[in-house]
Amino acid sequence: MNRLEMKKQKKKERNARFYEKNKEKVLKERKEQRRRKRPRVALEEQSEGKLPIPNWRLYKARESARKKQGKEKTSSKNGAVSPNDLRGVFAIRTGRNRALKHTKNSLMPSSSRKKVVVNASLVTSPSTRHLQ
């Protein structure tokens, strides 16, 4: 056995001794962690002093309604789209920021003369007239 394997073996034995010594405490902590991870279930109303019964069907129905509501895109009456309506388009927020940065850099060249030419051509172009 080389030195690294001996070290791993000692650590494994040390952990086993600790677990045997503190078994109840470790199990209690794990149980508490599992309880905290468990999804909150919609509870049926308490009846006649009995414990509330989790209603999984109601929980699932509410969960699917929340997902559906999140997927739907709402738009205002005049057809304008706000940035809040497009939240789920980019998977990561930094992706949106990178795209904005690239667009700004492409629309805004370094010299002021070039900026004027690019913006004028955008405004007069039929394919980008909606940017006005």
Q: What is the pLDDT of residue 63?
A: 86
Residue 51 dihedral angles phi and psi, to the nearest 5°: -70, 145
pLDDT tier at 25 (50, 70, 90 boundaries)?
Answer: very high
pLDDT above 80 (res 6)? yes
What average pLDDT does the structure give for the chain?
77
Q: What is the pLDDT of residue 132?
A: 53
Report the interhelical angle of 3-21 vs 23-37 (nearest 10°).
90
Average pLDDT of 9-21?
93
pLDDT tier at 67 (50, 70, 90 boundaries)?
Answer: confident
Report pLDDT digits (tens) over 71-109.
Answer: 764 544 455 666 666 666 777 778 888 888 887 777 777
Distance CA 26, CA 33 (A): 11
From first CA to last CA, the distance across the chain in angstroms is 74
Count other C-beta atoms under 10 Å from residue 94's C-beta: 9
Record the tokens describing residue 54, joined without a space.
């989790």
Q: What is the pLDDT of residue 57?
A: 82
Q: What is the pLDDT of residue 104?
A: 77
Q: What is the pLDDT of residue 98?
A: 86
pLDDT tier at 24 (50, 70, 90 boundaries)?
Answer: very high
